[in-house]
Structure 1
């Protein structure tokens, strides 16, 4: 597929910051292509034809696409695309790809940091320091502990590699079972119960689909080894917040690091805010100053694969919903 005309969509306030980066990176890789920008649906040239549209999952994306006569490829700047299923545009005709892998490094680093936060009791020491308290404690470690990853995609595999540097045992789930480097045991979600019983850290990296919505519930958390830690870096809605609270109160969970929630921002009256055994972050696990470059690199690799006749690894599966 030859790309001669490309449209980049973005929120208007962000667009001005990203234009130069987009022109430099895509212009160097696709010197034959003209690159146009739009910060609103109204700014999209009506009746135009583009080979590729690159965009986040913007709420006005259907209106923007509706102004075009034709487009052959839509690349999303995010790895999660659950928002597009409620949007009114044709998802079967164009190639649709997502920025899979863009979160691998930052999100796996976040998960390692969260595990260390609870294992080394950094939160407790921070509180002690604020009150000039000197209280000695014996600390646990990650060595020999089991990490169980729900979703061995790009993030899960990146996390497994980093966990092995701490000599952890790693288990994880895949829809289509196959060996995964640095993962000791790969199982299906239906077979996860035996792993939960020996899990010290449960990391949720799943996309939000009809199959995964509310998956981490009372029943699943109740099967965990008592004293486990939950880390949620998936999408809001996979983990049920009320189930987390019950598991914390019951002692099934020793702690939880939560980056995403069923309702965002997390309501101010949520009891999660008041808990010392919960680390709350505002959906930042995947953020990095290198995000745009990596997302565009994913698109360029997909384009090269398509032109070479190779399968596009990050193509969106409409039936699967991600």
Structure 2
């Protein structure tokens, strides 16, 4: 009997669905802070990646054949070793599309509609209106989405409801609905020059490390809005700070950073034109439910000997 190990809590209904789909497997839940290494060592299927127990998962005698991660990004996993062992890897791409899209517009509206400043004034019990002509709108602006995958596609759809023109950057350059113009990643500098708002949702790869650097920020139109809900190291922090200080970026909503947690005393903490959240953009009360839906669809294919249909990770491109 094969063993599948879940690192997220399964409801009785979810366990029942697994048993119906894969009756020949033993289901083991390891959801505490301490995990039994021997359980990981004998798993054929992992729902979640056991950080800190990589040695057990990658043991030469381990029967591990498939890992379904609970994250969309896989750059923190030992991808070379997984590829060497020919282990199938699927991620949680799509789970975050709704909450991250809502976070993106939360960042933008907090600035254009004065809520970022009003929140600070409320703590001081200050009633102070802004000048009439300083309140902005999203309507009519151009949003560039860097990284048009599941999240970017949903962001583009919602952007249209706000009356935004939408451009995009993706590795393949392929068109998707709701994006008016698509660029390849080589066209990032050209793409940002034509935008009023830049939203970074790029995955972290060798190609995207520090892709938002001095040259790209210099191509921004003065007074741009910048939102980063992708991966922290895709942005060169020093270049970002410079662009915020010189007015190239008017406002930044930042959920991810090169160094996390963001250290006390870091310049970004005290910038009035920056709104910081602690890497929570993808969190949602429905997270586990959506991960499970991906896992179950893939499990049906796995037990039938078919190719996994959802979120297959290509080790060559690292996502």
| TM-score (structure 2 length as normaliser) | 0.89
Q: Alpha-carbon deviations, 1:48-79, whole Å to 9, x = none?
A: 3x441111361223324428631221111111
TM alignment of 1:1-322, pairs within 5 A: 5-9=3-7, 18-21=8-11, 23-31=12-20, 32=23, 33-38=25-30, 39=32, 40=34, 42-45=36-39, 48=42, 50-56=43-49, 58-66=51-59, 69-85=62-78, 89=82, 91-129=84-122, 130-138=124-132, 139-305=135-301, 307=304, 309=306, 312-322=309-319
Which sections of structure 2, spanning at least 5 residues, go unmatched? none
Shift in CA distance, 203/165, structure 1 to aligned 2, threshold 3 Å: same
Q: Alpha-carbon deviations, 1:186-225, whole Å to 9, x = none?
A: 1112123332122111111011111111111111011011
Cα distance in 2 for residues equivalent to 1:194 and 1:87? 34
Cα distance in 2 for residues equivalent to 1:299 and 1:37? 15
Q: Alpha-carbon deviations, 1:164-205, whole Å to 9, x = none?
A: 110100011111122201111111121233321221111110
Instruction: Name the structure 2 match of 1:12.
Output: none
Question: Are the counterparts in 1 of residues 37 and 53 from structure 2 also a CA contact under 8 Å?
Answer: no
User: Tell me, what secondary structure is at the counterpart of 1:44?
Assistant: helix
| TM-fit CA distance, 1:269 | 1.6
Question: Are the counterparts in 2 of residues 96 and 315 from structure 1 also a CA contact under 8 Å?
Answer: yes
Cα RMSD (Å) of the superposition?
Answer: 2.3
| TM-score (structure 1 length as normaliser) | 0.88
Cα distance in 2 for residues equivalent to 1:229 and 1:204? 11
